[in-house]
């Protein structure tokens, strides 16, 4: 009999209860004891739902107070020295200070979890002194068993992937860190074994990336040692997001099951299974339900995959599960009462995917009751979706795109020549200052938007309110002394949703929230049809802001790759086609802004890096398409129009050449939270376009001193041309409070003036 399993469940709750409880605690409105009690209630409800759905291997320790990688770090005593940690169990206050920063210390770096929109807190090994502070998986296991009678499957970030995700050690020191941390992993597993745990899921997503011979030896050493420490445990070596590397070697490890992605990387994974088989003592945990997108499973296609698998592995050695943790999808479709029925019927969120997993496990075990009906329902849902009129415009759009691609996407003038034209036009000072785009979305802004959406306010009332907010922040920016201003984006809920609401081919959920980082949740739009341009989206507010100042105001757009990567995307055409459709629509908006007199236009692409395929062989095609989509969006403007872009919270070291090829006049890029580490890339690679390295972290509530920013600026100017260097925060300021925003920007201006004076006096 095949088993049904889940890899992880969304933490946020059906109505984002998790987020609200945590933020109440941060605001000082909830005592710590109440925080623990409320989060326990949410956690138990999630376990109960999985049990009622019929999941047999229910994950425990997938729940988190902020991030599961941070949870692993504090369990292992990996706490940055600047927090003056003295050992023992990490307090709740310290836990959140590591994640968010304290009054005196910056937060740990935050970056993307592989190629997803989830962000994790990067472990800082450096001079840490590892210790097992407490056995978190054991506590989660005992809670589930005592409270609900669930014999849970503890989930742990595998040691190999944990070290690959960490920083603070030199190349060649990996084995030394394995030797420091492996005894702690052994102790965790030994205690789990003693408590009666049967299955343990060790997440090793780094095994879908390139694995060298040396790394393979480390992996063998890790798993041999773990197996000897807890020989009775059934270890699942779990991979996801793509096909596994070194399959034929890894199936020889002393494990009980190997977990493979049966959606992303299926072709390679099944080919390896067919070529090398599976040892009789191993089970196969196969993800046949997409854990990263919101469309219901094509059960006919999944059934074909199952039949292929059953020729290789008996059903009693199959574990059916999602392709990845359901952390990446919303909780339930039940809340979506406003979606068109044709679209709603084609959707499956976390709860619905659990049902699909159980159905597929039953099918693998030969239980066919209601199976044909389920297959038919899925098939009819997709046929109805495909027949929608909004999906019938591909050919016209493709012809327009091909014509533009054939003409070429290069700007009419080289960067060197057009940048001089832009300098002459705007007459900006050395080290011009700006912000990334958004300003604080206060309760008053959110309340105004809510009144307008509920039709309690007329459009005229709402527009007047937005105009007043623009006026107020234009005044703030001028008083601060910023050189290039923005209108503040007060009319926008989200940088992707806003554009989706104004373009054809999108629809929106009422409660389709997913966790992005910490308590930050986003509600990705659904691209269900062909993307079309319906008219100006940003011109009114930008032109109004420009009328209020003599300084340049940037037009602000979200780029095509980011809109695509931060949406749930249709599956009937390639992602490249979707990206080009978006670029074609955005090109028309860029041209409309230029026509309206806006001479600086920022097309943000923060999500380019996160969409980079994990397989090196596929990366070049993705990058080429991303560059082409950006240039399709921006290449139609005159030489005097300055194109900006922005990227954040990813490791860009290996992408500098591709960023250069995008040919933006100015790029702003995060470097503060990574403590300036990106600057090292410019020591090895020349970058001769305009660039601003974010000088302070906007995701932390602390206001950094000007001296911190001066240090970062001066370090950057050792390798970058000051004539091309801009000063800015590392991201938009929407989530920050007004007081801290103004204080931090004042410090940024002070730092700029100090460095500017030094440079001018040295000439």
129 is in an annotated binding site: no
How many angstroms separate the Cα of 385 from the Cα of each of 295, 378, 379, 557? 11, 11, 10, 29
Q: Give pLDDT, residue 674.
A: 56
> What per-residue confidence (pLDDT) applies to 763?
63
Contact 195, 140 (CB under 8 A): no
Residues 6+ apart with CB under 8 A from 141: 60, 61, 152, 154, 192, 195, 197
Q: Check residue 687 and give its pLDDT.
A: 79
Whether 738 has a binding-site annotation, put simply, is: no
Q: Check the CA dihedral 396-630-653-438 and report its sign.
A: negative
**pTM, two decimal places:** 0.91
Which percentage of the chain shows pLDDT scores above 70?
Answer: 97
pLDDT at 7: 98
**Whether 238 contacts 259, CB under 8 Å:** yes
Write down the pLDDT at residue 217: 98
- What's the token pair of residue 761? 């006096």
> What pLDDT, on the 0 to 100 scale, is given for residue 676?
57
Question: Mean pLDDT across the stretch 152-175?
Answer: 96
Mean pLDDT of the region 136-154: 98
DSSP letters, 317-347, are: GEEEEESS-GGGS-S-GGG--SS-HHHHTTB
CA atoms of 584 and 590, how far apart (whole Å): 10
- Spell out the domains of the chain, with CATH numbers in brackets: 3-338+346-366 (3.20.20.210), 416-491+538-559+599-762 (3.20.20.210)
Give the model's pLDDT for residue 136: 98
Q: Is 734 annotated as a binding residue?
A: no
Q: Is residue 551 marked as binding? A: no
* Of 622, 528, 510, 522, the residue nearest 568 (C-alpha): 528
Q: Is 18 annotated as a binding residue?
A: yes
The answer on whether 139 is annotated among ligand-binding residues is no
Residue 284, phi then psi, degrees to nearest 5:
-115, 115
Q: What is the pLDDT of residues 92-130, one digit of tens each?
A: 999 999 999 998 898 999 988 999 999 999 999 998 999
- 319 carries a ligand binding annotation: no
d(CA 442, CA 490): 9
The predicted structure's pLDDT at residue 698? 74
d(CA 184, CA 255): 19
Q: Is the pLDDT of residue 720 over 90?
A: no
pLDDT surpassing 90 at residue 652: no
Residue 649 pLDDT > 80: no
Q: What is the pLDDT of residues 67-94, one digit of tens each?
A: 999 999 999 999 999 999 999 999 999 9
CA distance 448 to 434: 27
- β-bridge mates for residue 321, sequence order: 287
pLDDT score of 684: 67
Q: Which residues contact 217 (CB under 8 A, 6 or more apart)?
A: none
For residue 259, what are the contacts with CB-CB under 8 A and spacing of at least 6?
A: 7, 201, 236, 237, 238, 239, 240, 285, 286, 287, 319, 321
pLDDT, tens digit (0-9, with 9 covering 90-100), for 608-628: 888 899 999 999 999 999 999
Looking at every residue in the chain, the average pLDDT score rounds to 94
At residue 653, the pLDDT reads 67
Question: Is the distance from CB of 46 to CB of 9 less than 8 angstroms?
Answer: yes
Residue 609: closest CA among 113, 69, 66: 113
CA atoms of 320 and 262, how far apart (whole Å): 10
pLDDT value, residue 656: 79
Q: Kindly state the average pLDDT of the residues 524-549.
A: 96
Average pLDDT over residues 465-482: 96
d(CA 529, CA 143): 45
pLDDT over 90 (residue 379): yes
Is 670 a known ligand-binding residue? yes
Tell whether residue 438 is among the known ligand binding residues.
yes
Sign of the Cα pseudo-torsion (64, 68, 71, 72, in order): positive
Residue 337's Cβ-count burial label (10 Å; 0-12, 13-18, 19+) is exposed
**For position 400, what pLDDT does the model report?**
95
- Take residue 423 and report the two structure tokens written for it: 């300098």
Mean pLDDT of 574-600: 97
Mean pLDDT of 524-529: 96
- Is residue 62 annotated as involved in ligand binding? no
pLDDT interval class at 731 (50, 70, 90): confident
In the predicted structure, residue 57 carries a pLDDT above the cut 90: yes
What integer is the mean pLDDT of 591-605?
97
**pLDDT at residue 686, rounded to an integer:** 72
Residues 6+ apart with CB under 8 A from 22: 35, 39, 65, 66, 518, 519
606 falls in which pLDDT band (50, 70, 90)? confident
Q: Is 16 annotated as a binding residue?
A: yes
What tokens were used for 518? 């910490």
- In which band, very low, low, confident or very high, does the pLDDT at 648 lie, cut at 50, 70 and 90? confident
pLDDT of the residue at 77:
97
Is 520 labelled as part of a ligand binding site? yes
pLDDT of residue 688: 85
Residue 610 annotated as lining a ligand binding site: yes
Is 507 annotated in some ligand binding site? no
Q: Is the confidence at residue 63, as pLDDT, over 70? A: yes
Please write the tens of the pLDDT for every residue from 665-703: 998 887 655 555 667 667 666 778 898 888 877 777 778
Q: Are strands 110-112 and 119-121 parallel, antiparallel or unpaired?
A: antiparallel
Contact 121, 73 (CB under 8 A): yes
Above 60 in pLDDT, residue 650?
A: no
Q: Please indicate whether residue 644 is annotated as part of the active site.
A: no
């Amino acid at each position: 009999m095949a088993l049904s399993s889940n890899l992880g469940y969304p933490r946020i709750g059906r109505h984002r209860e998790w987020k609200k409880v945590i933020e109440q605690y941060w605001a000082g409105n909830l005592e710590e004891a109440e925080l623990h009690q409320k989060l326990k209630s949410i956690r138990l409800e999630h376990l109960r739902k999985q049990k009622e759905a019929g999941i047999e291997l229910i994950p425990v320790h997938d729940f988190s107070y902020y991030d599961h990688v941070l949870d692993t770090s504090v369990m292992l005593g990996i706490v940055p020295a600047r927090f003056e940690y003295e050992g023992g169990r990490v307090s709740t206050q310290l836990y959140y200070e590591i994640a968010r920063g304290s009054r005196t210390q910056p937060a740990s770096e935050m970056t993307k979890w592989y190629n997803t929109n989830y962000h994790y807190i990067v472990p800082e090994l450096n001079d840490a002194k590892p210790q097992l502070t407490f056995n978190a998986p054991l506590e989660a296991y005992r809670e589930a068993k005592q409270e609900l009678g669930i014999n849970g499957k503890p989930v742990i970030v595998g040691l190999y992937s944990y070290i690959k995700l960490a920083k603070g050690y030199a190349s060649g020191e990996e084995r030394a860190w394995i030797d420091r941390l492996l005894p702690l992993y052994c102790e965790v597993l030994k205690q789990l074994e003693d408590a009666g745990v049967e299955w343990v899921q060790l997440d090793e997503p780094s095994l879908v990336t390139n694995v060298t011979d040396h790394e393979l030896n480390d992996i063998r050493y890790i798993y041999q040692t773990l197996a000897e420490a807890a020989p009775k445990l059934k270890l699942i070596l779990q991979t996801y997001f793509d096909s596994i590397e070194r399959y034929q070697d890894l199936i020889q490890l002393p494990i009980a099951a190997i977990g493979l992605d049966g959606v992303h990387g299926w072709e390679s994974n099944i080919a390896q299974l067919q070529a090398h088989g599976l040892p009789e003592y191993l089970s196969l945990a196969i993800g046949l339900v997409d854990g990263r997108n919101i469309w219901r499973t094509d059960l006919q296609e999944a059934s074909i995959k199952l039949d292929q698998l059953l020729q290789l592995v008996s059903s009693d050695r199959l574990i059916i599960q999602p392709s990845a943790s359901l952390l990446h999808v919303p909780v339930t479709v039940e809340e979506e009462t406003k979606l068109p029925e044709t679209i709603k019927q084609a959707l499956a969120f976390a709860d619905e995917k659990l049902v699909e997993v159980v159905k597929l496990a039953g099918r693998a075990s030969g239980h066919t009751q209601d199976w044909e009906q389920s297959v038919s329902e899925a098939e009819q849902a997709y046929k109805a979706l495909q027949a929608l009129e909004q999906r019938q415009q591909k050919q016209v759009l493709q012809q327009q795109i091909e014509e533009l691609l054939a003409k070429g996407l290069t700007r009419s003038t080289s960067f060197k020549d057009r940048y001089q034209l832009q300098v002459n036009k705007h007459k900006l000072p050395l080290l011009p200052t700006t912000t990334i785009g958004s300003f604080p979305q206060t309760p008053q802004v959110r309340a105004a938007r809510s009144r307008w959406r509920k039709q309690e306010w007329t459009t005229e009332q709402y527009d007047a309110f937005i105009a007043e907010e623009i006026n107020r922040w234009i005044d703030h920016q001028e008083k601060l002394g910023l050189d290039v201003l923005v209108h503040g984006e007060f009319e926008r809920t989200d940088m992707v949703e806003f554009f989706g609401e104004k373009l054809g081919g999108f629809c929106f959920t009422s409660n389709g929230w997913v966790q992005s980082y910490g308590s930050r949740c986003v509600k990705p739009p659904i691209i269900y049809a062909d993307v079309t341009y319906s008219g100006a989206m940003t011109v009114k507010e930008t032109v109004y802001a420009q009328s209020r100042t003599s300084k340049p105001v940037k037009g602000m757009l979200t780029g095509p790759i980011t809109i695509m990567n931060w949406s749930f995307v249709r599956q009937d055409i390639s992602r490249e086609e979707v990206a080009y459709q978006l670029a074609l629509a955005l090109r028309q908006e860029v041209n409309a802004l230029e026509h309206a007199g806006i001479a600086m236009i920022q097309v943000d692409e923060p999500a380019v890096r996160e969409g980079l395929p994990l397989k090196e062989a596929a990366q070049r095609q993705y990058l080429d398409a991303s560059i082409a989509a950006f240039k399709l969006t921006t290449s139609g403007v005159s030489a005097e129009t300055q194109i900006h872009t922005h990227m954040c919270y990813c490791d860009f070291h290996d992408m500098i050449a591709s960023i250069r090829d995008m040919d933006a006049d100015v790029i702003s890029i995060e470097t503060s939270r990574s403590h300036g580490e990106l600057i090292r890339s410019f020591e090895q690679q020349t970058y001769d376009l305009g660039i601003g390295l974010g000088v302070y972290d906007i995701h932390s509530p602390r206001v950094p001193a000007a001296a911190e920013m001066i240090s970062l600026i001066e370090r950057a100017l050792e390798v970058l041309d000051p004539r091309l260097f801009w000063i800015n925060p590392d991201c938009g300021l929407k989530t920050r409070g007004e007081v801290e925003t103004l204080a931090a920007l004042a410090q940024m201006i002070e730092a700029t003036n100090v460095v500017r004076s030094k440079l001018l006096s040295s000439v």
